[in-house]
Amino acid sequence: MTVVGETVRRAQPTDVGAICGLVRELAEYEKLLDQCTVRPEQIHTALFGDNPSVFAHVAESDGGVVGTAIWFLNFSTWDGVNGIYLEDLYVQPASRGSGMGSALLAALAAECTAKGYTRLSWSVLDWNTPSIGFYESLGAVAQDEWTTFRMTGTALEALAQRVSP
């Protein structure tokens, strides 16, 4: 897919370093860089290993990767079919406004419609008003009635230990 002179395509193994760099830029933007420990080999295995669990599209401009959409499949028990959960969408600041963010989301919407998936979902930090406005301009609707939960570290380990061996 080409938009305004840029290209959006499925990620390839040669994109792993760029994707990792974009993930770190996103973590920095979200003021969470200290929590970002991802390594290129992890991204490579997740995207291109024997049993890929994650997928990605990249946006290119002038031959360089300047944006990415990293996603995985979820499942709607109500619809009985898969959907896409967008884990990360990031376009470098210098390339914003060129249509690449829209093109990345359009590529995921096309994946959904081509495969019969009924949902494209993601989360956004409540303080990220530019992104919220962008998503709403595309027709996305905030799910304000839902609260996201996360369990990590010692709480995750403590709960896991409740399972009998």
**Could you give the residue numbers annotated as active site?**
135
> Tokens at residue 114, please?
């081509």
H helices of the chain, in order, are 16-29, 40-48, 100-115, 129-137, 153-160
For 146, phi then psi, to 5°, come to -105, 145
3-state secondary structure of 44: helix
Among the listed residues 82, 90, 86, the one whose alpha carbon sits nearest the alpha carbon of residue 114? 82
Report whether 117 contacts 81 (CB < 8 A): yes
Q: How far apart are CA 128 and CA 26, in angstroms?
A: 12
